[in-house]
Structure 1
């Protein structure tokens, strides 16, 4: 049975996320206006690109360039389970049209780090309210792809900057509830997005999205102890909804928001202990 899930996330550079399980479907020759970034989770895919046949097994990352026709089919037509794949359609300016030729010549990479980063990006894109994490992971994926496609012309990474890290931290602190996108922060602070990520992580020992989440959890703790119901505390502290708060709250604090706050009052005759 063919199964498909597709959506457009609110993340700059990603035109579409496409998850599919195909048992019989065969793609005819077609082309996209976007980059097609493909990983296969089960089975394997065969496709023709620029009159050459290629394969996409589970351990390979495949990048198909915009405007270049290709097709697709199961590499094992006799397998009743078909294949499962996850695809990111990236806007054509996400990588640069100067890389189309290199992608046509070498559309597949055996790169465990790149595949892991793409897997993590898919995870972030599935969750509402995690745009900063998704943008950060997309930046690292794009950087890795450029390194693989054009290593001779890739600009060397800048040395992590404490100033860049501090400026990004101050920006996040000023917008805890509203949040800030990585691309918007890079434009405002005049640093490359990847440089901001590296600088922040080096300086503070965590990625920017982890820092933002920890600050939101901290804000929610105060609201909960003041008696605000978890659902209201979630949105008031910048989370998408109560389940979004609960997922991160338990990871950081160790208990659910409801158990943490109780009824918002310390037991009579005792002082409430602060959770570090």
Structure 2
């Protein structure tokens, strides 16, 4: 287990080599709170003890034991303890490819699929999420893959649908997309909001409003999230945390550590050690 900073908290964020498009997190958090962020893939999690409050665009999901939380790609959200004792949970982060391949194989859903509910009580699906973790930790690739497919199929069948296809973009949405492209290309030295708005031919307030409407968070919050995402990819490739911090625009490694831990749930060093150990030696043996 990788220890987090808070007393009584622990977390392990890792990847099973036999299922490379799936990240896994098991953790207990008490004081830790996830700031607004989003994921490139899906989030499927379940709570075994305590309560997690998940803040989503449509409101807050109070997730207790037996609840399955389903979050689609790029949906901004927060998470924090809903009770003083915090929460214990197991979460799976399958890529878009994994979910859409399973949907094409086992359901009638087509196109880019997603989940129409964000929090449902489903004891069987919750148990399956835990069993995927257990199988991966025991090095049982056949079971982990099979259980994952059964669980995803169940959730898609009961709560799945095709995600809406984006229509023509309004001027504000186009400006937001252009601003995002600029921030991605100049991550280590981004412009001020005023300079960015001037470059795009709009006003700072109009750009701020359009960006938040399009991506669910203001540009500076989105940029921090994007920096952490890029740092994760660099850590996966073996880049040292201090080098990754400088490359993505954090002032130093402690700056990366703080934001990475808040968003991912574990420090970058612990994250990288788990990835390296998983890829080089396979999963840990059963206890």
TM-score, normalisation: structure 1: 0.50
TM-score, normalisation: structure 2: 0.48
The structure that has the greater radius of gyration is: 1
Greater RCO (CA < 8 Å, at least 6 residues apart): 2
